[in-house]
Amino acid sequence: MESVFVTGTDTGIGKTYVAAGIAAALRRRGASVGVMKPFAAGAPGGAFAGGRESGPGNNVDGDAAILGDAAGAADDPPHLVCPHRYSMAASPYTAWMRGGEPKPDINRVLECYEEIEGMHDVVVVEGIGGVMTPILRSYSVADLIADMGIPAVVVCSDMLGTVNHTMMTVDACRRSNVTVRGIVINGGAGRPGSDRYDRHVLEQDLEELCGFNILGFVPPMPGAAAGARQTTSQAIGRLLDVSQIAGT
């Protein structure tokens, strides 16, 4: 069983619930599952800079909390699960350079990952934005995945334009020597009323053009918006080919 990094073609594409679905599915198989959200943007309370312990008002919330609930790992130390929390809703690079927030500490992130990995059988990591989202001036999310040494799952939408975005994402992974396990299509991403592909046409196009298997299709999940976090995560987990994702 291998840890996995969930990335996507864009922000707001559904990475969190796909990652939570993977975590829930692995937990259902009896694995001890850890989770990590190395960078969170728009987070109340700012960053756990330098690995500081959490304090009042600085508990893990948002995406990291959804992941922790799905994995049964809600009690893991918050400063390990989410080492950088930026109040500015932007890339880590922009929050640091333009927002005056702490400089991203890649070594600290990798140390946190190693600690969580040592606590569990497998770790599900959720990225921020897309693979080329800048963390430092010359260091992107793709570089972080490569340094963690784990494969990636790419989440995309089913909106028109997604083939272009997915091919660019996969190409960026290849150029950074990131192994891609496959692609998950999130049919609930994007604006209501957007033009969308026929599911089966899109699956064929992506498999042929990107060279990777489709690992699942997630239809719109009203429960996510309604706050039914665990139910939604479990339902998504049942839609995914977790054996391919985690190499089991």
Tell me, what CATH number does 123's domain have? 3.40.50.300
User: Is 54 part of a structural domain of the chain?
Assistant: no
When pLDDT is averaged across residues 9-30 and rounded to a whole number, the result is: 94
Distance set, CA 13 to CA 5, 38, 101, 112, 162 (Å): 15, 18, 25, 25, 11
pLDDT above 70 for 176: yes
For 39, half-sphere exposure in the C-beta direction (CA atoms, 13 angstrom radius) is: 32
pLDDT (mean) for 223-242: 79
Determine, yes or no, domain membership for 113: yes
Neighbour-count burial of 195, counting CB atoms closer than 10 A to its CB (0-12 exposed, 13-18 middle, 19+ buried): exposed
- Phi, psi for residue 77 in degrees, rounded to 5: -55, 125
Q: What is the mean pLDDT of residues 178-202?
A: 90
List pLDDT tens digits, range 212-227: 999 999 998 765 555 5
Tokens of 200: 């089966």
**Domain coverage including residue 163:** 4-37+109-246
Q: Is the predicted pLDDT of residue 137 greater than 70, yes or no?
A: yes
pLDDT at 46 (0 to 100):
58
Residue 155 lies in a domain: yes
Least confident piece of the model among 23-32, 86-95, 231-240: 231-240
pLDDT at residue 123 is higher than 50: yes
Distance separating alpha carbons of residues 8 and 190, to the nearest angstrom: 13
Residue 229 has pLDDT above 80, yes or no: no
Secondary structure (DSSP) of 218-233: E---HHHHHT-HHHHH
Residue 62 lies in a domain: no
Confidence (pTM): 0.92
Q: Which pLDDT belongs to residue 45?
A: 59
Please tell me the predicted confidence (pLDDT) of residue 52: 40
Q: Is residue 29 part of a domain?
A: yes
Residues 119 and 77 sit within 8 Å (Cβ to Cβ): no
Going by the DSSP 8-state scheme, the letter that residue 12 receives in this structure is T
Rounded percentage of the chain residues whose pLDDT exceeds 70: 90
Q: Is residue 42 part of a domain?
A: no
Asked if the structure places residue 75 within a domain, the reply is no
Residue 83 lies in a domain: no
Helix segments in the chain, DSSP class H: 15-28, 62-71, 78-81, 92-97, 106-119, 141-148, 162-175, 199-210, 222-226, 229-237, 242-246
> How much is the pLDDT for 62?
82
Active site residue 37: yes
Q: What is the mean pLDDT of residues 85-101?
A: 95
Q: Structural domain tally of the chain?
A: 1
Q: What is the pLDDT of residue 193?
A: 74
The span from the CA of 179 to the CA of 131, in Å, is: 13
**SS3 sequence of 119-158:** HCCEEEEECCCCCCCEEECCEEHHHHHHHHCCCEEEEEEC
Instruction: Read off the pLDDT of residues 37-92 as tens digits, 9 standing for 90 and up.
Output: 999 998 765 555 443 433 333 445 688 989 999 999 989 999 999 999 999 999 99
Single out the residue of 172, 119, 126, 170 nearest to residue 148, CA to CA. Answer: 126
Separation of alpha carbons 198 and 232, rounded Å: 24
Catalytic, out of 6, 14, 19, 37: 37
At residue 121, the pLDDT reads 97
